[in-house]
Amino acid sequence: MIVSRFLKEIALSGMLLMMTSAATAQTATQRMRGTVVDAINHEPVAYATIILTDQPKLTAITDSLGRFVIDNVPVGRHNMKCQYVGYETVEMNELLVTSAKETYVDVMLNESQTELRELVVRTKVVKEKAINRMVITGGRMFSVEETSRYAGGFDDPARLATAFAGVASGGATNGISIHGNAPHLLAWRLEDMEIPNPNHFSDISVLGGGIFSSLSAMCIGNSDFLTSAFPAEYANAVSGVFDMKMRKGNDQKFEHAAQIGVGGIDIASEGPLSRKTGASYLFNYRYSMTSLANQLGMIDMQGQVMDYQDLNFKFYIPAAKAGVFTIWGTGYIDRFHNGEKPSEWDSKQDECYAESDQYMGALGLGHTLSMPHGMLKTTVGMTFSNDELLTDTYNLPDNFDFTSETTDGLTRSPYFTGDRRYMNIAARSVYTHRFSRRWNAQLGASYTAMLFDVKIREAYKSQQALHTICDNDGNTSMLTAFTNHSLNLGERTTLNLGVNLQHLALNGATVVEPRASIKFLTSENTSLALAYGLHSRAEKLDIYFTRRLPNPNETGNWDVPTETDELVNKDLGFTRSHHAMLTFAWKINDNWNLKVEPYLQMLFDVPVEQGKPYSVLNRQEFYLDKALVNDGRGRNYGIDLTLERYLNDGWYGMLSGSFFSSKYKGGDGVWRHTAFDRGYIVNMLGGKEWMLGRSGNNMLSVNVKATFQGGDRYSPIDREATLAHPDYEVQYDESQSYSLQRSPMFILHYTVSYRINRRGLTHEFSIKHVNCTGTKSFYGYEYAYREDTFKPMTFNFSIPNISYKLEF
């Protein structure tokens, strides 16, 4: 009823606004600005020519600082071309112009390989090409506009990535599995610095994921997503890398935005700090709608608390010959307390009370200094994360009424407490040098001081004293260094070579990893690329400080164990992986592109439980209480296919598929399916835009995404062991780990938006429905001991995010 009423109100408001805009109709225009710089040293390129190819009369020439301005650009989509003698021509498509905000474009030009020739190969800045020029396979750029437009994106980079080949998600969270790897093996980078998991309610439902990103689409700029054999500058990752950038604010005009919707309330502002120097600021804050509505008495959460808020900002400060300084930050606060009463008293899990308080923040200072033949880029910063979790069990009297709908009068006993606090202080510096038109090189190093305070305690059974799994504080450090070289071996062949070194001071673990890739243009429209890399990743610090504990399943003793200070995992080395990917790319025409990418990943030195099937390649838990050794292995192979039609003439489409196998060898030496071995993923994505209104100023956009993928894997239930557990915690037959698979999953998303462009003002009404099919993610079983049945535990994240955004 409430949603229906809300929809009617939005429809009525939209019709009123459309009638108003029609009554005062005139062609809406906006200014397009930007800069053109050299891709290597970021020096401005003067006298470059800018042309809007769909509006050929709209052109500009860059000034001595590489700046350009094009006035009176009609609202809608436009294609832009930038060219200058001695550089490769760049084409940028799908640029969205609205009436409220200026469109700002940064263009980076690469020198052509042959002296004094305007064009050797036309370079088109499209989504399959990464921003990082060292990435020639296994990566692509994604734009902030796509996170808002693509169905299922939910303004979230991680959910957007599930449209790409080889990437899977259960739908309920944004924890993504790349080529069968666990989500926690993915690295997150922001402004060249590794950051903690930036997702709200992170690591609780699945390690490495959350519900949705705290990095707002109002702040994120064009970024890279890498899935295989990444270049040498990327360290501490074995499955993939999100390499994200924050855009800079408008340095000439103040612009603001406000959005209200089911997902929350967003406010954003940007503008000049100094128009003369080009200094600017960018700011965004978001607060959860559920919390606000609960506080205002609009909804009854029945004692449940689900608060979230996040903040993102960036200051961009040019300092003439001293270079460019940036100050940036991101962070979130999450609170979850479950309700006053369970929906039913079926299982021991229903007899628990849980709450979590989570905090994450990152703050950085960046400096870029351009030089005649290169560029020095330095970042110093700090990251912080704190997870406070507890689970209590209700103490139920013998005569408890299981039909009761309240917990009033019941006492609770602690069952689990966790407090993880991490702080990293990092410094990173990279020098890029152009030796010649055919040889560019990078040399970089980073040092991270890691401070930690971790306390995790758990009871073996209800109403029993807690025992310590991890209790340690201190500090350690990690040092990384790398070099990258890009060589143009003629006009058709590019060779990239690099090496990366990582050293973990905690236990002296050191790895040296070669990286290499080569790309050959087989014709004007086809290319072949091959990449190889050796990669590694350290575990979370709490793993290294796990204490030795007896296994009550084996001893039959469920009493409080004798605690020791023996750290069983302190000498763990890195999880390591060989990556190889072959890419065949065919530009069918200017709008259609086909990519075929077979790949192979061989993991080794994987932490496993000795003599048992357990491997961290399947890890999804918030904490771990096992002794591990680096004896495991893994093997992922398959083929990724992508057929994409870029947005042109108002419509776009993508068909992506991945067919793969993901296996692991645990501590018992047996090869099995991993928990993330779905076998196949097929995505169909598309959308259509119409320019409406008397003067064609308004835009209606309809977008749909459908995913068909293999079901969740799970292990057979060990009934006898479950009944022997004092709390009936479900036990599984580990000898057949992940041998079973649930039915295939079909997940459908849609996004519908209507944008009204008025002079200096834009209204946008939208419905972004994630998982409108209500597909549930599976998390195992619970034992309903009063009914003597096992029930699947599922979670359904299906939200029609109805929102209104105002830009001015």
Confidence at 26, pLDDT banded by 50, 70, 90: low
DSSP H helix total and E strand total for the chain: 7, 42
Least confident of 3-17, 150-164, 260-274: 3-17
Least confident of 24-38, 351-365, 727-741: 24-38
pLDDT at residue 13 tops 60: no
Give the mean pLDDT of 357-362: 95
Q: Return d(Cα 638, Cα 629) in angstroms, integer.
A: 28
DSSP assignment, residue 236? S
The mean pLDDT of the chain is 88
DSSP assignment, residue 349? G
Least confident of 119-128, 401-410, 477-486, 492-501: 119-128
| CA-based radius of gyration for the chain | 27
What pLDDT shows up at residue 301? 54
pLDDT at residue 463 tops 80: no
Give the mean pLDDT of 424-428: 98
Give the mean pLDDT of 173-177: 86
Most confident of 427-431, 691-695, 767-771: 427-431
What pLDDT shows up at residue 300? 56
Phi, psi for residue 407 in degrees, rounded to 5 = -110, 10
741 or 112, which is more confident: 741
Confidence at 342, pLDDT banded by 50, 70, 90: low
Q: Return d(Cα 482, Cα 505) in angstroms, integer.
A: 18
Confidence at 279, pLDDT banded by 50, 70, 90: very high
What pLDDT shows up at residue 227? 94
377 or 392, which is more confident: 377
Share of the chain above pLDDT 70, in %: 89
Q: Return d(Cα 259, Cα 278) in angstroms, integer.
A: 27
Q: Which two tokens stand for residue 504?
A: 């973990």
The string of pLDDT tens digits covering residues 382-398 is 999 999 999 888 887 87
Residues 6+ apart with CB under 8 A from 146: 127, 153, 160
What pLDDT shows up at residue 405? 67
Confidence at 166, pLDDT banded by 50, 70, 90: very high
CA distances from 572 to 507, 606, 772 (A): 8, 9, 43
Q: pTM to 2 decimals?
A: 0.90
Confidence at 296, pLDDT banded by 50, 70, 90: low
The string of pLDDT tens digits covering residues 91-110 is 888 899 999 999 999 999 98
Q: Which of 784, 788, 717 is nearest to 350 (CA)?
A: 784
What pLDDT shows up at residue 19? 45
pLDDT at residue 803 tops 60: yes
Phi, psi for residue 556 in degrees, rounded to 5 = 75, 5
Q: In Å, how far from its chain's centre is CA 275?
A: 34
Q: How many residues in total does the chain contain?
A: 808
Phi, psi for residue 52 in degrees, rounded to 5 = -85, 105
Give the mean pLDDT of 227-240: 94
CB–CB of 635/677 below 8 Å?
Answer: no
Strand ranges (DSSP E) for 98-176? Answer: 103-109, 123-125, 139-142, 167-168
The string of pLDDT tens digits covering residues 572-622 is 999 999 999 999 999 999 889 999 999 999 999 999 999 999 999 999 888
Among left, alpha and beta (phi > 0; psi -120 to 50; other), residue 148 is alpha
Backbone CA torsion sign across 119, 123, 125, 126: positive
What pLDDT shows up at residue 70? 95
Confidence at 739, pLDDT banded by 50, 70, 90: very high
DSSP assignment, residue 147? H
Give the mean pLDDT of 338-348: 66
Give the mean pLDDT of 522-526: 93
Phi, psi for residue 770 in degrees, rounded to 5 = -90, 130
Q: Return d(Cα 658, Cα 227) in angstroms, integer.
A: 13
What pLDDT shows up at residue 293? 66
Burial class (CB in 10 A: 0-12, 13-18, 19+), 302: exposed
Give the mean pLDDT of 755-763: 92
According to DSSP, the residues that pair with 177 across neighbouring strands are: 168
Confidence at 327, pLDDT banded by 50, 70, 90: very high
Give the mean pLDDT of 499-523: 96
CB–CB of 76/40 below 8 Å?
Answer: no
- Half-sphere exposure (CA, 13 Å, Cβ side) for 242? 35
What pLDDT shows up at residue 14? 46
